[in-house]
Amino acid sequence: MTDKIKVLIPEDVVTRRIKELADQISKDYEGRQVHLICILKGSIVFSCDLAKRFTVPVTFDFMSVSSYGNETVSSGRVRILKDLDESIQGKDVLIVEDIIDSGNTLSYLYDLLSSRSPNSLNICTLLDKPDRRETDVKVKYVGFEIPDEFVVGYGLDYNQFYRNLPYVGVIES
Ligand code: IMP
Ligand code: MG
């Protein structure tokens, strides 16, 4: 993979914003514990960098989902590839996602997890493409709103590559 990648959000800007988000979340959850749910694989990089800066206690769990996307007539259907290891009942759950595009994945996950009786349930995403929204999602924490462009880096991939880039970029054609 040797595509030319144009930087959209430089590393220092991402780092600064993640610190702000972590400060805000730590403040909002003061006196409680955050049960962070990392949505594999895209949100691994963001989840780690965010959680490193929490001043509240944090536990992790992981979930892997695959969206049927455009392959089916009725979008919004999501397949669970790996479910959580632990129960979330009574916990203060924070879903961490890399990007919200159509919103179909997150709205499905939000409904699924709220049916499992957490004490609270919120969503934090690094990136948001509001122009692409098909399903409304209640997102509490957003790193950056971005235009409708396909981005890579900071956990986001193109054919599984570029997740390790320390910045968010766009592949130049
Ligand atoms: P949604 O259900 O349409 O909101 O899909 C969200 C998922 O699509 C994300 O978790 C990503 O895995 C993927 N995705 C959406 N936009 C991009 C992008 O610009 N780059 C890489 N992956 C993306
Ligand atoms: Mg993803």
pLDDT in tens, 80-94: 999 999 999 999 999
Taking the CA of residue 113 as centre, how many other CA atoms within 13 Å lie in the half-sphere pointing to its CB? 32
Closest residue (by CA) to atom 10 of ligand 1?
99
* 133-147 average pLDDT score: 95
* 59 pLDDT above the threshold of 60: yes
Active-site pick, 49, 98, 101, 128: 101
128 lines ligand 1 (CB under 6 A): no
CA–CA separation, 77 vs 20, rounded Å? Answer: 33
CB-CB contact of 119 with 91 (8 Å): yes
| Closest approach atom of ligand 1 to CA 104 | 2
Task: For each of the domains in the chain, give its residue range(s) and CATH number, in order of start.
Answer: 4-172 (3.40.50.2020)
Catalytic residue at 49? no
Instruction: Give this prediction's pTM.
Output: 0.94
pLDDT at 17: 98
| Closest approach atom of ligand 1 to CA 43 | 10
* pLDDT digits 0-9 by tens, 20-52: 999 999 999 999 999 999 999 999 999 999 999
156 lines ligand 1 (CB under 6 A): yes
